[in-house]
Structure 1
């Protein structure tokens, strides 16, 4: 009963129609299904989430929306196929990533679950309730009278299709193409798009192996005549294709992961296998419309390169690549790229590279679904790798597709340019705030470490060069593995420059194609208890994905740990002071 003694009932906008009932799992914190939910059990594995340890299967999951990885759609698809998905989902905002997973399940496998969006006021009233039913545009407690006659449309069908668009929906094209176009147009209508646009390139995140459903979907598209029509790169996969046998990863899963990648290559995608496509030749130009998936890549493309992409979910990426068409919505539109929140960062003298991932993580917490503009960093002069680290951590805690930093990012030469002159709410970040993030990553100090994990997102050639400088003249502790994930392209560069040989002499090992969110044992040694990383993204996702304790340090701190065999004894001096 609510405060007026009535059972709950409210009208809802339906992103996916249907009816379902189940026990309520409520959280006021968004959840990334990738790295947050185990697709084989349905259990929430994100250690930082309020629902950690609970099973989603058969429940009505209510949360503001998703966040983090674009791969959430693939995880949800696998949950649906496994019979472990929520019975229904209820949000307080429109959500694309998880919705797309249900749309693919409907279109390809004939399975579905309803997704409803409540007004934030009604959503807040769900807390403390035991069970819910979703049906015909109404969300209500069993036994209550559903709201009828007040269904709210989740989208207005203003989508105008060209003659070519209609042809892509017809039987005159391969089945894979018409299926892809149906999915693209469904999402375009949910986004309220009035038209579709051409894109210059696509980066596919859906090539990762989540389970049998991700392999089956890729092989179906390839078998149904799917062929990309724009330049298409591929994200990091779950296996080092050339060296998985010598690395000793599980042969069944390794072959399946390789088969997913091969299916996308058969459709014409380039085997780039990197989560940092902005490091490749041919990165998009400012103002160019593209369709990138992978959360950190989307944020970097929009914010640092000034290209234009929505945060495309896994599977929608390949659908756009097969058709060349994308919704004219989201960050493809000028006004949707303006800041909605100001975050003022206090001066912090003497900071090292750990500043940027800590800051990105905290900004994402403050701006879980709004585009922020940062002030106070006008003279900071971050490198591309600093911005990569910031953006990856930001994309872990926020669902927003971009950020601005005044005087740094291309669409924020001035505060007025980033905001469009609007008056916005202002939040602040202090040294104490970042120290709190550091302590959340490091509940203890000076602990023994067995693995130093670098390269989430993939290390650049410059980062490998800096790492070599930090290792030079030093000796790795025999009980510590130091492993770096890189793209094939970067690995070729550091082989040519001699950096790879120098790092391997120190005892570093390299994994290509995969990154830390996708690697398999024994790359993460089964006997290891504790992993140290310089990535805010992996510090968050690592515990759930690896089953290990994960700590965070600067790059220099990570090298010290590889030499000494233990984590740093204290926060960095710039942060503690």
Structure 2
């Protein structure tokens, strides 16, 4: 018999619901982890893989990974494929925002509750059982009206989600509709999120980067078109993330009209509102990249982590649609990494055996980022012991993208490398209680095994996927050097995604023509997490990538076998080398 319980937390979105409990103690990214059309968990690295959210009460510690999780949840709610309620162990910004958008724009919502850690652990024990949610109360079985009258909520130590927000005169004008319905609705969304975050005021930001331009389904298009038709206009310089198709060439690439048309219309809705069609998931490569200390509002997980960690700019990990609301008002919650004290490291990860050992290729950085992200699922880490490597911007991009795939933290520090971590004291202060984890190079073998999830006996691959996040000009140049005097194997496609601006510079430098002669195909505007058939051909059984992010998401998104390798290893695979032979020398030496 199931043990009966009654738990009480904070309802960040109020309501009543019942259903079977679907519970896990591991965070889940909805983008790349849940199919928005069916509700199935497709993250093949997650314990809930293959299970379905429809009609369930979902209990997870929080989200992780992509900022587009809010868009996926919105689609699930609008097509009745989503959970009936969500319960978290800590405040969850991205998924809660998806529910708020459904409520504000479409009048449809589900309860969202946060429990204390001990109560959440108790709830996990009832996975698969019938559970009811009413306000902040969570109890087993079906509701009994007589018993419910006798239940008294216990005191919670969680911060209440009802902080008073001090509004400026401009903020109030937005709320009063002085600047139109789009600005009014946007300010309501910003204030609701500020309340959830415990902020007491809003702040100006200098620029925005919108991730909500990714097409997750009809609801994402409907939100953008409503805001545009309500007169929405961005009030700060605003760049756009990768979209779901190569806008200028999707027809020639054979993309179905059912995807190409609405995806292109979604992009147009944002450019109609004044956003710039940069269409890149690496806005830090643009000339408009922010500087140290600049207050910005960026979405897209890898871009957020890079902005905070490498550039030293300040942004929260903004969910899709909140990024839009901020762009349309120029106002953001003064909370999270916007505030100095919230940028402190809360975990130290020490790489203890690097000195005197060669790390001789670029595969180290995504593997290290993936491993560190796994260790710090919600904590900002300080990484010690990498100083001697002097990582490049591209190395830090690869580290950050892999880190952001498995961690919900908005940033990391690397001692002696990232701008705020000249010393450990700079980012830990005088706190001697911070937990320290020691790792060795050989510990990265676990990340290698996880990202090489394909069949170990496979003899060849059909696709080499590069550019997730988007390739930089220096990476295109390095790729050209690696491909010179080599011959691509028959039956292997090599594809690079990059931003329009980067592609233009590479074309001017003669690199595009040279690589196309080798057999490389370039795709702009979109990125690998949005690409499917026919670009990824149905005959392709296996994919090799140098992206830790895509090696994680790819199996669930495409159903293909996936292998991870260095950039040089990817070129070797393009020339016919077997996946089993792509283990980097530095890691092979550790594994002996």
Q: What interval of TM-score do these two structures reach, taking the shorter chain for normalisation? A: over 0.9
Is 1:330 the equivalent of 2:309? no
Residue aligned with 2:553, SS: helix
Deviations 1:398-427 (A, max 9, x none): 000000000000000011002112121011
Quickly say closer, same or farther: Cα 1:156–1:483, change in 2 above 3 A.
same
Q: CA deviation at 1:570?
A: 5.0
2:96 to 83, 94, 99: 99
Counterpart of 2:438 in structure 1 is: 428
Is 1:525 the equivalent of 2:522? no
Is 1:148 the equivalent of 2:152? yes
Is 1:86 the equivalent of 2:86? no
Does the CA-based 8 Å contact 2:59-2:124 persist in structure 1?
Answer: no
1:55 to 48, 52, 74: 52
Does the CA-based 8 Å contact 2:194-2:333 persist in structure 1?
Answer: yes
Counterpart of 1:214 in structure 2 is: 220
Counterpart of 2:276 in structure 1 is: 270
Counterpart of 1:415 in structure 2 is: 424
Deviations 1:354-380 (A, max 9, x none): 000000001011000000000011211
The count of residues paired between Structure 1 and Structure 2 equals 574
Q: CA deviation at 1:149?
A: 4.2
Partners of 2:545 and 2:254 in 1: how far apart? Answer: 23
Deviations 1:494-546 (A, max 9, x none): 00000111100000000000000011311111111100000000000011111
Q: Which moved more, 1:544-553 or 1:103-112?
A: 544-553
Deviations 1:293-340 (A, max 9, x none): 000000000000000000000000010000000000000000000000
Matches within 5 A, 1:169-568: 169-348=175-354, 349-351=357-359, 352-423=361-432, 424-443=434-453, 444=456, 447-564=459-576, 566-568=578-580
Does the CA-based 8 Å contact 1:445-1:570 persist in structure 2?
Answer: no
Does the CA-based 8 Å contact 1:229-1:321 persist in structure 2?
Answer: yes
Partners of 2:259 and 2:162 in 1: how far apart? Answer: 43
Residue aligned with 2:20, SS: strand
Residue aligned with 2:388, SS: coil
Q: CA deviation at 1:446?
A: 5.6
Provide runs of 4+ in structure 1 moved above 6 Å: none
Does the CA-based 8 Å contact 1:249-1:521 persist in structure 2?
Answer: yes
Is 1:571 the equivalent of 2:583? yes
Give structure 1 stretches of 5+ with no counterpart.
Answer: none
Does the CA-based 8 Å contact 1:457-1:515 persist in structure 2?
Answer: yes
Does the CA-based 8 Å contact 1:239-1:518 persist in structure 2?
Answer: yes
CA RMSD of aligned residues (A): 1.3
Partners of 1:383 and 1:568 in 2: how far apart? Answer: 28
Q: CA deviation at 1:442?
A: 2.1
The TM-score with structure 1 as length reference comes to 0.98
Partners of 1:287 and 1:539 in 2: how far apart? Answer: 33
Matches within 5 A, 1:29-40: 29-40=26-37
Q: CA deviation at 1:83?
A: 0.4
